[in-house]
């Protein structure tokens, strides 16, 4: 399976997926730390991929997503954005609703 197919499959099978540097409990950059903290504070389960452990994903995801930076949050197969966008959505209460909706669809 080529790397783009792997990325597509990861996005398809995980209703909420964070591509980040490190892990939620041991982030390796401030932006990834903020993104993981915000998502965890919403209380929904999410998957993550440590791009530092997956250099092929790190190299190819920005081209696939047309988004140059990490972290990247994907919900329901759609790119939501990086940490600045997550902060903005969280402060408006929109991120909580988006994650709750994705979790409900996944459970259905």
Could you give the strand order of the β-sheet that contains 47-50, starting from the edge strand earlier in sequence? Answer: 47-50, 16-20, 72-75, 78-81
Q: How far apart are CA 35 and CA 29, in angstroms?
A: 10
Q: How far apart are CA 100 and CA 84, in angstroms?
A: 20
Tell me: is residue 21 an annotated ligand-binding position. yes
Tell me: is residue 58 an annotated ligand-binding position. yes
Tell me: is residue 100 an annotated ligand-binding position. no
Tell me: is residue 70 an annotated ligand-binding position. yes
Tell me: is residue 34 an annotated ligand-binding position. no
Tell me: is residue 41 an annotated ligand-binding position. no
**Binding-site annotation: residue ranges:** 21, 29, 58, 70, 83-84
**Binding-site annotation: residue ranges for glutathione:** 21, 58, 70, 83-84
**Binding-site annotation: residue ranges for [2Fe-2S] cluster:** 29
């Amino acid at each position: 399976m080529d790397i783009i197919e792997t990325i597509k499959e990861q996005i398809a099978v995980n209703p909420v997926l964070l591509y980040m540097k490190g892990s939620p409990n041991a982030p390796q950059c401030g932006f990834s730390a903020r993104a993981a903290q915000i998502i965890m504070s919403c209380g929904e389960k999410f998957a993550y991929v440590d791009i530092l452990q997956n250099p092929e994903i790190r190299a190819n995801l920005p081209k696939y997503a047309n988004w140059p930076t990490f972290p990247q949050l994907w919900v329901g197969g759609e790119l939501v954005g990086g940490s600045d966008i997550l902060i903005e959505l969280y402060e408006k209460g929109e991120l909580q609703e988006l994650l709750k909706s994705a979790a409900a669809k996944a459970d259905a």
